[in-house]
Amino acid sequence: MSSYLFSFVPNPYAFLFATTLLAVLIIVFRAWRRLALPPGPRSRLPFGFGSSNSGIPQRSAWTEYTEWKELYGPIATFTQRNRRMIVLNTAQASIDLIEKRARLYSDRPRSLITELCGYDDRIFSLAHTDPRFSTHRKLFHGEFGHRFIGQHLPTQEKETRTFLRNILHDPRNFRSHVRRYAVAVIMKIAYGYTVKEDNDQFVGLVQSWLEHTNAHNTKPAQWAVDSYPFLKYLPRWIPGTAFFKFADDQRERNRELLGKPVEWVKGEMKAGRAVSSVVERFIRRVQETKEKEGMSREEEDVVENVAGAMYLGGADTTVSALMTFILMMARNPCVQKRAAEEINNVVGTDRLPEVRDMERLPFVGALIKEVLRFHPVAPLALPHRVMEDDVYEGCRIPGGATVIVNLWSILHDESTYPDHMTFDPERYLPNSSDSDSTKPQPDPRNYAFGIGRRICPGMHLAEISLFLIISSTLATFDISPKKDGRGQEIEPKMEWKNGVVSVCEEFECEIRLREGRKLPVDF
């Protein structure tokens, strides 16, 4: 009988091989489907609409996700509407997937709301498979790579002095001065624009953009249209389509934010007043390779996107780190005193700290590390997307799932950073004892700027900016809690806003010129 059947098969051995292979694949596929998803809170409503315990907290999502580590282990999952979300709560899980399996995990989740807002192709959401991604990253590294970062030092030093001057004359508005400093540095680098002292148009523009975005778009899978694309075809008057209004408003804000500074540079170039900047150099290179003036739409997009990403990424993250620094100094006078004494002993009082002093100020360096650890500027980082089905620690990770790296959990892991809620720069300094328990704890910068291929390209610029402004502030001022009517200190609360970039809530403190401090001649 078998020989009769084989007589109708041109190559019976190939047929047997194909049949066996198909059977094996079916068995493997069924076995894979039987693998459980990572544990996590489950929705109690049908169709993945979620419930109060479906995984998206209203505030401080990073702390709630961290609590899941005790319940579910290093990796957890939940469904937001019909989207599968994977949360990585430990350094090991994040390194194993985001870094070691970068080919699968370096993509960004795409969404309809970003397309409706008109920034689906911006650098912060660009898929790594997009051919423009490498062009954007190359431009970033050409400006902010370790070998090129020194070209921006004069701008950082100048704006540091402006910040100190503003604090000296108006200490109560320290938050505004921090915001101005952050925008001023990146505006000068990206566009060659010098920010005005008061009511600068571009400072107001970026602040308005950030406030609008963080107020309406702070959580993964927040908008129903991302989970149910058919909603974009509904009439705008139907309840539940508020995303249209947000998208229209955001699209106009995007045009202003990304387009206006570039148009300003073009105007300065035509008038012969342009200062060297990222945008100016890019436009000039394009013009030199063309017979006619002007850029193509694609080239316009590249320069707007890259400069805009510098503009936004540098502004909000710097504000977050510096506000955490001021808050921690107001709450930790002993730490502040030790850092100031180190600066006095090493640098003296006749000048401000400079980049060449970094290695000679180990406690100040440790203090900056602790600022980045205590509250990372992006506690949940930017989300990743797994490109195809994967298996980790016996659990199934479905392709297309959104992957959230909980940096706050990693940097508050008690086994790595004991007494993690204490602000303690000494944890990074060598101890005289040879005991393993007293060795310096891991450098939080390994995680604070992200993990894997999508690590922050501006990290070297950020490190220099933080050193200059933090060390100069410590050398010049005393930061203390505000006093009530009876002269008692009011310790500021430690509360942070939700959002991709998290900034501490409003607080008050007193900032005074340090006693006996001599201001530099060029101050």
Annotated binding site for heme: 456
Question: Could you tell me which of 222, 93, 149, 184 has the C-alpha nearest to residue 499?
Answer: 222
Which tokens sit at 299? Answer: 């080239």
Pairwise CA distance, residues 29 & 24, whole Å? 8
CA angle 486, 488, 492 (to 5 degrees): 130
Quote the CA–CA distance of 231 and 243 in Å, as a whole number: 10
Answer yes or no: are the C-beta atoms of 324 and 411 closer than 8 Å. no
- Separation between Cα atoms, residue 244 and residue 236, nearest integer Å: 7
Q: Give the annotated binding-site residues.
A: 456
Q: Which amino acid does the sequence have at 355? A: V
**Contact predicate 36/396, CB 8 Å:** yes
Q: Which residue has the tokens 């709560």?
A: 89
List residues bridging with 420 in a β-sheet.
none
**b/e burial code for range 219-253 (CB count within 10 A of at least 16 → b):** ebbbbbbbbbeebeeeeeeeeeeebbebbeebeeb
Query: In angstroms, rounded to a whole number, what is the distance separating the alpha carbons of residues 284 and 279?
Result: 9
DSSP state letter for 107: B
Angle formed at CA 257 by CA 252 and CA 260, multiple of 5 degrees: 100
**In the block, which residue shows the tokens 């694609």?**
298
C-alpha angle with apex 178: 177 to 181, nearest 5 degrees? 85
Q: Give Cα 151 to chain centroid, integer Å.
A: 24
What is the C-alpha to C-alpha distance for residues 263 and 270, in angstroms, rounded to an integer?
11
Q: Whole-angstrom Cα distance, residue 15 to residue 2?
A: 13
